[in-house]
């Protein structure tokens, strides 16, 4: 009888652990949505919209505690978002987006930040990657000049 109870409790614990790992973190999910806004604004060559989106990203990342994300990643994301939000032109906004994207790719790989598939895309001309909600390539590094340049490199489910 004791053996059955132990087996049952072990099974329940395993199920609870599995569910905890597959649950989306709401703070990181919001951060990902803010990231997508920055990416979309860059892809549409909209300097002002990019500044506003980066400001929202900065607000969200500043509210995340180090239990959800390690301090090094948090500091990197904050730094890049500040640079993007205060940059003087679209080209100056795109430069820190490389590192912001690399850190966000790591965050998405290590944590469940979306219920839907996340696409990791890459532009060989820019030599940079970014995250997207869709397979269609909409390049944030070149905007309208090379909007379709790139390919899907991987998927995060």
In a 13 Å sphere around the CA of 36, the CA atoms on its Cβ side amount to 15
Structural Rg of the chain based on CA atoms: 18
Sheet-wide strand order for 128-132: 128-132, 118-123, 151-156
User: Residue for token digits 């990181």?
Assistant: 28
Beta partners for 118? 156
pTM: 0.85
Per-residue pLDDT of the chain (157 residues; tens, 9 = 90+): 554 444 444 444 444 444 444 688 999 999 999 999 999 999 999 999 999 999 999 999 999 988 889 999 999 999 999 999 999 999 999 999 999 999 999 999 999 999 999 999 999 999 999 999 999 999 999 999 999 999 999 999 9
């Amino acid at each position: 009888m004791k053996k059955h109870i132990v087996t049952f409790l072990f099974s329940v614990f395993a199920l609870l652990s599995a569910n905890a790992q597959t649950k989306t973190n709401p703070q990181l999910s919001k951060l990902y949505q803010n990231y997508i806004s920055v990416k979309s604004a860059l892809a549409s060559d909209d300097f002002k919209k990019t500044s506003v989106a980066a400001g929202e990203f900065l607000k969200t990342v500043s509210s995340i505690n180090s239990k959800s994300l390690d301090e090094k990643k948090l500091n990197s994301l904050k730094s890049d978002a500040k640079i993007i939000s205060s940059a003087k032109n679209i080209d100056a906004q795109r430069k820190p987006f490389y590192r912001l994207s690399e850190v966000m790719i790591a965050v998405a790989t290590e944590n469940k930040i979306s219920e839907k598939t996340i696409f990791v895309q890459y532009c060989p001309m820019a030599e940079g990657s970014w995250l997207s909600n869709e397979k269609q390539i909409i390049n944030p590094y070149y905007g309208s000049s090379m909007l379709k340049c790139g390919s899907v490199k991987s998927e995060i489910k």
